[in-house]
Amino acid sequence: MSYKMPKKQGLTKDKIELDAFRTYMNNSPDIALLSRIDNFQFVAVNDLACKEYGYTRKQFLALQIFDLEVTPQLEEEVKVFYDRTRIGKVMTYQGINKRKDGSQFPVEVRFSKISSTYGLAHIRNTSERVRSIERDRFLAQMSEDASVAMLGLDLKFNLTHWSKGCESLLGYSRKEVLSEQIINLVLSKERPKINRFLVQLVKEREFRSRDTVLIHKSGKQIVVNATYWITKDENGVVNGLAGLIRDNSKEKMAKRMQDALLNIAQASSRRIIDTKWFSKFVFKELGTIMNVDNFYIILYDKVSKSYKYPIVRGCKGLKKALQSDIKKRSLASRVMHTGKPVFEQKSELLKHIKIHKIQMETEVPEVYLGVPLKSEGKVVGVLAVQSFKDPFAYSIRNMIALELVSNLISNILTRDLIIDELMTSEEHYRSLSEKSADVISVLDKHWVIQYESLPSKHVFGRNAYEMLGHSFLDYIHPEYKGAIKKCLTAVSKIKDKNATVKCRYLHGNGSWIWAELSIKNLLSDPVVKGILIHKKNITKSHETEELLKSSEAKFKSLFTKSLEAIYLVDPLTRMVIDANQSFLDYTGFSQEDYGTIALEDFVVTSVSNINGYINKVLEGTDVENIERIWKRKSGEEITVLVSGSKIKIDHKEIVVVAARNITPQKKTEKELLKINQELDTFVYKASHDLRGPLTTCLGLVNMSQDEVKDEKAVWYLDMIKEVLGKLDGILTDLTQITSIRQGNVEYVNIHLAKMVQAAVKEFKGHPDVRNLTFKTQIKIKRKISSDAAILRMVFRNLIGNAIKYQKEKGKNPFLQISASEDEEATLIVFEDNGIGIDDSVGNSIFDMFIRGTSESKGSGLGLYMVRTGLDKINGSITVESKLGKGSRFTITIPNLYC
């Protein structure tokens, strides 16, 4: 098998030229198209060409250069150029090209003959340049048009152009504003916003409009709409902004007037209207379209037969005029007399005042505009505005607006005559309604509130009149809005349909409360003509209900998951009516046994004992930690601690019992008791057995002391004797402690004063007792019942400690023993002024081998023995002591009456 090397193709001059042209085109900043001169077929294009025209490179190679041109005569001109010019010459042409999608754009083309084979076309999109030229031409024309306000700005927002239209609109000449910043002509509070707007416009190079307020040379504010766009120089570089300003204050005013009158009309259509509220509403709305610094509404009241003023703003002295004869003291008389609108300036007003001899309570205004208010064709009031500064404050348009408002008020007044008659006959109902806990709302078919009863103020914290015209859903919490909307939709579809729902409702103080809504469809009712809603504030009951649910959930969780057995008992039948799993585990019963398990089936005691327990619980006594024996279903017995209380379920008293299995603890107690008894026996025997050799040792030491004469040996023997004496004392104490623990208590009648005296007398021969003063104060005359041996041991230890732990150089050392009693116990107090006990020791002084201070030389068993003895007779002991001050021991012995 043989392999032939392929022949290497040679690089022709034509191919080298083509590669060089391609490299040049790809680096060109313009669109570059390379074509053959003989047939004008494309042989190469750059990326910009593909992007601009929308063709791929492959699609370009199937086209001629003339396929891109809209103008047909270009083909002849290019052929002549390539045929008759030498290489290197350039021809420039301006025309219109078309893209693949058919869109067209202006271009500037430079044809270059770069070889005898190829021609190169450089193309630049001149759309922006054409637009700029057209815009400049347009701006030049507009600048001379006085009806159009045009301006120009540089990049620092200084004015560079100011048209005649700007002069006409704002009153400034070109000389006055050129080189000034446009910001200086803007209302001061809007300047930061306009500055940010212009900066953003230059940054993003966009075309934008916005409303703003400019200041006229006279100081008047003018609302305008300003449209700005960027401008560029011949090289396409942004050099500033151009703007077109349009005065839309008249349009704005017309729109505001339309909105204000529409709002007043909607408010007047409400079913029930408070006159003062509606007057304030009219004042507020008219304030958006005219000067209402001096504004009033006057109405004749049939009940008091005098004129009232629901609202007066400014107009000093008018209220005083109303209190007397308004027709002689006010310009309103002219309106009332003619029954027609009055729109006059000061000169005409002065004539009227002079002719009718009106004694004005106020100064005469520069202009007065008043319209009559009528009811059933009669003039019953006046709506008026006036200005004391500007004679041109109002226009014919303002008068027309007031007439429209007066017609609406007149309609309300006529309707209110009927309502007043109804309300007079229902005064009793109204009084009851105001105190009601329920609130009534009437909604139209769009759920807009048409009526709200007066209790809304104290039930939901909202003024009933202020709610009129608002959507009912505005007061519903967002979480419930969908459900209420669905409910209202369902109710609205069916005549007399009822529904009751609960939701969160917005209170007047801003909080969300719970409300119950009873909804009824009365849209077809000839009187109501709406959806009737009864609202109740159920916040307290809802919170109580939620607390009950929470308590029930907690009880159920505890009941189910508790490790203790919990069961419910019917006190009449003694049957278990419910129980948790732990009860079943304790007793061995199953859930199927409920209803058949009686207390006597598992409680090992008599029925009378069980009934006594139940009666105690029903009487209100909480029975706690009573030890019981339970018999499991298998026959095995367990020990439990039982506690019981009563609850009510469905108005019936039920006994709740909780039981804790203490069988393992009881078993442990028995084992510990056995071990303690064995330990006590061991200690007793060991102490007794050790005392024999110890006594012998002491005897030998005593004999040695009589015979040994060496002083050092005698010193050692004394130390041995002292140590053996201490050991003998410890063994004696241990033997006594064991005797107390193992021995039986023998209660006898004891004369306490005599026992104390005898205990003190035992220490009369003690060498350290000479300086100690004994004081006794025994207030108990009767005999007490207790164990005499234990009490003697206690007294002996406490007296001995007081003697042993006196201060070495203390003044007037004493031990005071006192006793008193109450109904339950006898209190015996031992108080001294000895060395005291360290605070760090505290009540642990009664533990085994604990000493009160570092100076103590005792065994640490004396007070332990005291506590052990008192525990045996159900007594107790406490200590109050301060180091260096003394100690106070208080013994409590329960009273026993034999």
Tokens of 181: 């910043």
Listed in sequence order, the residues at least 6 apart from 335 whose beta carbon sits closer than 8 Å to its beta carbon are: 341, 342, 370, 371, 372, 379, 382, 384
| Cβ atoms of 45 and 68 closer than 8 Å | no
Alpha-carbon gap, residue 774 to 764, rounded angstroms: 11
Alpha-carbon gap, residue 828 to 42, rounded angstroms: 128
Of 154 and 724, the one with more pLDDT: 154
| Cβ atoms of 503 and 533 closer than 8 Å | no
Tokens of 426: 């229902």
The mean pLDDT value for 547-554 works out to 71
| Cβ atoms of 719 and 767 closer than 8 Å | no
pLDDT at 205 over 70: yes
pLDDT at 328: 61
333-337, 567-571, 778-782: lowest mean pLDDT where?
333-337
Q: Which helix (H) or strand (E) holds 404?
A: helix 396-425
SS3 323: helix
**CATH 3.20.20.80 fits domain 13-125:** no
Residue where the block lists tokens 């506690």: 643
SS3 396: helix
How is domain 253-425 classified at the CATH fold level? Beta-Lactamase (3.30.450)
Alpha-carbon gap, residue 268 to 465, rounded angstroms: 12
Query: What is the band of 519 on the pLDDT scale with cuts at 50, 70, 90?
Result: very high
Give the Cα-Cα-Cα angle 361, 365, 371 (nearest 5 degrees): 90
Alpha-carbon gap, residue 472 to 446, rounded angstroms: 9
Closest CA to 541 of 518, 517, 516, 519: 516
The CATH architecture assigned to 427-544 reads 2-Layer Sandwich (3.30)
Contacts 24+ apart (CB under 8 A), 579-586: 583/659, 586/630, 586/632, 586/638, 586/640, 586/659, 586/661
CB-neighbour burial class of residue 550 (10 A; exposed 0-12, middle 13-18, buried 19+) = exposed
| Cβ atoms of 232 and 239 closer than 8 Å | yes
| Cβ atoms of 155 and 238 closer than 8 Å | yes
Q: Which helix (H) or strand (E) holds 774?
A: strand 773-778
Query: What is the band of 207 on the pLDDT scale with cuts at 50, 70, 90?
Result: confident
Answer yes or no: same fold for 427-544 and 745-894: no
192-206, 320-334, 544-558: lowest mean pLDDT where?
320-334
Question: 660 forms bridges with which residues in the sheet?
Answer: 641
pLDDT at 431: 47
pLDDT at 812: 85
Tokens of 97: 């090209």
pLDDT at 294 over 90: no
Tokens of 300: 């004749």
The percent of residues above 70 in pLDDT, for the chain, comes to 81
**Most confident by average pLDDT, 364-378, 400-414, 674-688:** 364-378
Residue where the block lists tokens 């015996």: 828
pLDDT at 831 over 60: yes
Of 749 and 65, the one with more pLDDT: 749
Query: What is the band of 73 on the pLDDT scale with cuts at 50, 70, 90?
Result: low
pLDDT at 687: 59
pLDDT at 818: 93
Question: 208 forms bridges with which residues in the sheet?
Answer: 228
Alpha-carbon gap, residue 44 to 53, rounded angstroms: 14
pLDDT at 7: 42
Instruction: Tell me the domain boundaries of the chain.
Output: 13-125, 130-247, 253-425, 427-544, 562-661, 667-724, 745-894
SS3 639: strand
Residue 635 half-sphere exposure toward CB, CA atoms < 13 A: 0
For residue 781, CA distances in Å to 137, 269, 876, 897 come to 131, 98, 22, 15
SS3 502: strand
Closest CA to 800 of 856, 760, 757, 845: 760
pTM: 0.32
Tokens of 868: 């052990």
pLDDT at 547 over 70: yes
Residue where the block lists tokens 């209100």: 620
Give the Cα-Cα-Cα angle 11, 14, 16 (nearest 5 degrees): 55
pLDDT at 810: 75
Of 602 and 714, the one with more pLDDT: 602
| Cβ atoms of 158 and 205 closer than 8 Å | no
**CATH 3.30.565.10 fits domain 745-894:** yes
Alpha-carbon gap, residue 217 to 167, rounded angstroms: 10
The mean pLDDT value for 730-735 works out to 65
The mean pLDDT value for 759-765 works out to 85
pLDDT at 891 over 80: yes
The size of the chain, in residues, is: 898
Alpha-carbon gap, residue 403 to 273, rounded angstroms: 20
Q: Just give the CATH number of 562-661.
A: 3.30.450.20
Looking at every residue in the chain, the average pLDDT score rounds to 80
For residues 813, 814, 815, 819, the Cα torsion angle rounded to the nearest 10 degrees is -150
Residue where the block lists tokens 């009718």: 356
pLDDT at 251: 66
The mean pLDDT value for 26-35 works out to 81
Residue 658 half-sphere exposure toward CB, CA atoms < 13 A: 15
pLDDT at 429 over 50: no
**Which ranges of 435-568 would DSSP assign to H, the alpha helix?**
456-460, 464-467, 478-493, 539-561
The percent of residues above 90 in pLDDT, for the chain, comes to 9
Closest CA to 656 of 640, 642, 669: 642
Tokens of 30: 């313009």
Q: Just give the CATH number of 130-247.
A: 3.30.450.20
Closest CA to 789 of 825, 820, 748: 748
Question: 265 forms bridges with which residues in the sheet?
Answer: none
pLDDT at 174: 87
Residue 61 half-sphere exposure toward CB, CA atoms < 13 A: 5
Alpha-carbon gap, residue 820 to 753, rounded angstroms: 11
pLDDT tens profile 624-660: 788 889 999 888 999 998 888 888 887 889 898 989 8
- What are the respective helix, strand and coil percentages of the chain, to the nearest 5? 45, 30, 30
Give the Cα-Cα-Cα angle 8, 13, 15 (nearest 5 degrees): 70
DSSP-derived secondary structure letter, 185: G
pLDDT tens profile 846-856: 877 666 565 65
pLDDT tens profile 327-337: 566 777 778 87
DSSP-derived secondary structure letter, 89: -
Q: Say which amino acid occupies 451.
A: Y
Query: What is the band of 501 on the pLDDT scale with cuts at 50, 70, 90?
Result: very high
End-to-end CA distance of the chain: 136
For residues 606, 608, 611, 613, the Cα torsion angle rounded to the nearest 10 degrees is -70
pLDDT at 670 over 60: yes
pLDDT at 829: 94
pLDDT tens profile 104-162: 888 888 888 888 888 888 888 877 666 555 555 555 555 555 556 888 899 899 998 88
The mean pLDDT value for 833-848 works out to 80
Query: What is the band of 68 on the pLDDT scale with cuts at 50, 70, 90?
Result: confident
pLDDT at 77: 80
For residues 458, 461, 462, 463, the Cα torsion angle rounded to the nearest 10 degrees is 50
DSSP-derived secondary structure letter, 235: T
Listed in sequence order, the residues at least 6 apart from 537 whose beta carbon sits closer than 8 Å to its beta carbon are: 437, 459, 460, 505, 513, 514, 515
* DSSP for 841-865, written as a single string: TGGGGGSTT--SSTT--S-S-HHHH
pLDDT at 839 over 90: no
Of 898 and 372, the one with more pLDDT: 372
